[in-house]
Amino acid sequence: MAQTVSATKSLFKRMLQRILWILLLVGILGGGVYYLVRTYTLSDGNRSGVLFKISRKGILFKTYEGQLHLGGSIQMTDQSVWNFSAESAAVYEKLQQFEGKNVTVHYKEVVNSFPWQGETNYLVDDVQLVQ
């Protein structure tokens, strides 16, 4: 009788260990797939216009947000304003130098940016002054 209880405990312990290893493996693989899907680049390209706003904002995660008034429109409307997030502090500092000027920015659009990447799915990684 004592051997069957001991054998049952041993069997239960092995099964629990296997289940925990499987859960750990599924968690790691699931997390990796989630990260890849969420940061998948849908498109990338350039946009030109007048950079009229760049700021650092956020409560928990401080991100760099900006707005570009696209060319071809005299009035500023929702359709002529493009909202974006700067990828890094270095890009933010470069954008600050060009505020109020005509610029071309290079961006990538991700499926769904993480909260620490910015408020938008458009992540600007470079900016050039248009002469």
30 or 72, greater pLDDT = 30
CA-CA distance, 68 to 128, in Å (whole number)? 13
pTM of the model: 0.73
Model pLDDT for residues 68-108, shown as the tens digit of each residue? 998 766 777 777 899 999 999 999 999 999 998 999 999 99
Q: Average pLDDT for residues 13-32, to the nearest whole number?
A: 94
> β-strands 81-86, 63-70: how paired?
antiparallel
Most confident of 9-13, 56-60, 75-79, 122-126: 122-126
Which pLDDT band, with edges at 50, 70 and 90, does 39 fall under?
Answer: confident
What is the three-class DSSP state of 91? helix
Share of the chain above pLDDT 90, in %: 61
Long-range Cβ contact pairs of 9-18 (< 8 A, separation 24 or more): none
**Taken in order 113, 114, 116, 120, is the CA torsion positive or negative?**
positive
Q: Which helix (H) or strand (E) holds 2?
A: helix 2-38
